[in-house]
Structure 1
Amino acid sequence: MLRFPHFLILLLVFGVQGCMTVDSAPPPAPGGAAIRLNDADAAAIGRKIWQNECGGTVEGLTSWNAGEDFPSLGIGHFIWYVPGRPGPFQESFPQLLAYMGEKGTAVPSWLASAKGCPWTSRSEFLKEQQSPRMKELRQFLANTVSVQTGFIVRRLELSLPEMQKATSAATDKERLRQNFYLMASSRNGLYALIDYVNFKGEGIKPEERYQGEGWGLRDVLL
């Protein structure tokens, strides 16, 4: 297939170079989480995401972009909506907090009990940048980079079944799975998957195609 060389380029650039050896084990059997993320890889990948998304600064961990109705928090710019004002994007910050609860991560009490974003406007959010609560939030996010990375990896892996659903042939579904886990078996390869899907999407939405051709992660891996 014409798209297969694109996967080879990804594999050569990200999967087999860098500071981690590619796992030679076969791809995991279908079903269940299978990406193995150790502490060193979580920290290294998290630092890259932090640098790309927030400029690597602590201040960048709490942002509210002009023209938006919600703040973006953490290394992955996780969205947190104001109560009663949902938006078009998936709200991810509450999911992150739930994931942290699963992992036993200590969360500031005010944050754990919050029923939505406590700042109701961008101007209020910016005015509070040096408040004790905002400083505590930034420090909390800076201290939990590896946990945030684990959450991002979990969301990435959960996208694989959705990409397979958008794929018709059984042989293509299997090749998609094998290539996904081959890339994910190295630190650089896993980061490449995260980075690519962040900018190009999974490739399962109609708007991610043009004249029958797609550019999402699914299309690259096939």
Structure 2
Amino acid sequence: MKLVSTLSKLALAISLSLSLSFAAPNIQISPTELQRVGEQIYKNETGGKLDNLAVWNVGENFPSLGIGHFIWYKAGEAAHFEETFPSLVLFLQQNGAQLPAILKQHRTAPWKTREAFNTAKSRGELNELMQFLANTKDLQALFIYQRLQAALQKMQSVSTFPDFI
């Protein structure tokens, strides 16, 4: 993916969000700043380690993927938290990212257990997915940014003190 193209998309998304006519909270951030934020999230959340872009934590029934620890449920799993990975995948695809084979083949997480996930990971079966996630950090940051904008608008709409959000 070309950085210039991605930065152009970031700039467009930011300018569109900043030009909304209603009085919604707006976080003003340039494409360069957004890219730096994505890199910082990556460092903070993974320790700068590619391997930590795909994890399945002890006590959880799902893997967490990407810089935002996006949840990906297996088929039939009760959703106790908001599943965000499928939305991220769609967003990445809509923004020109070429999906790795595993995402083309599976709409839900293909591992039934944490052990199966870790076995697949140790065999290198998640390498293409983790590299894909590393290569799309900038778009993941934009996805997080857009979710933040939407969340701030919702919070402001129900707040007694919307100007303080």
TM-score normalized by the length of structure 2: 0.79
Q: What secondary structure, in the 3-state scheme, does the structure 2 residue paired with 1:129 have?
A: helix
Stretches of structure 2 lacking an aligned partner (at least 5 in a row):
1-17
1:53 to 32, 45, 49: 45
User: Matches of 1:88 and 1:145 in 2, distance apart?
Assistant: 26
User: Matches of 2:74 and 2:134 in 1, distance apart?
Assistant: 23
Is the contact between residue 97 and residue 112 of structure 1 (CA under 8 Å) also seen in structure 2?
no
User: Matches of 1:50 and 1:60 in 2, distance apart?
Assistant: 9
Shift of residue 140 of structure 1? Answer: 0.5
More RCO (CA 8 Å, sep 6+) = 1
Percent identity, please.
36
1:13-68 per-residue CA deviation (whole Å, 9 max, x = no partner) reads xxxxxxxxxxxxx9963178965654422321011111211111101101000010
- Farther-moved stretch of structure 1 (105-114 vs 81-90): 105-114
1:163-206 per-residue CA deviation (whole Å, 9 max, x = no partner) reads 023213xxx33x24xxxxxxxxxxxxxxxxxxxxxxxxxxxxxx
- Say yes or no: does 1:73 pair with 2:65: yes
Q: How is 1:72-151 mapped onto 2 (pairs within 5 angstroms)?
A: 72-151=64-143
Calculate the aligned-residue CA RMSD, in Å.
Answer: 2.4
Tell me the matched-pair count. Answer: 148
Stretches of structure 1 lacking an aligned partner (at least 5 in a row):
1-25, 177-220
Highest Rg: 1 or 2? 1
Summarize the Cα distance change of 1:165–1:49 in structure 2 as closer, same or farther, 3 Å threshold: same
TM-score normalized by the length of structure 1: 0.60
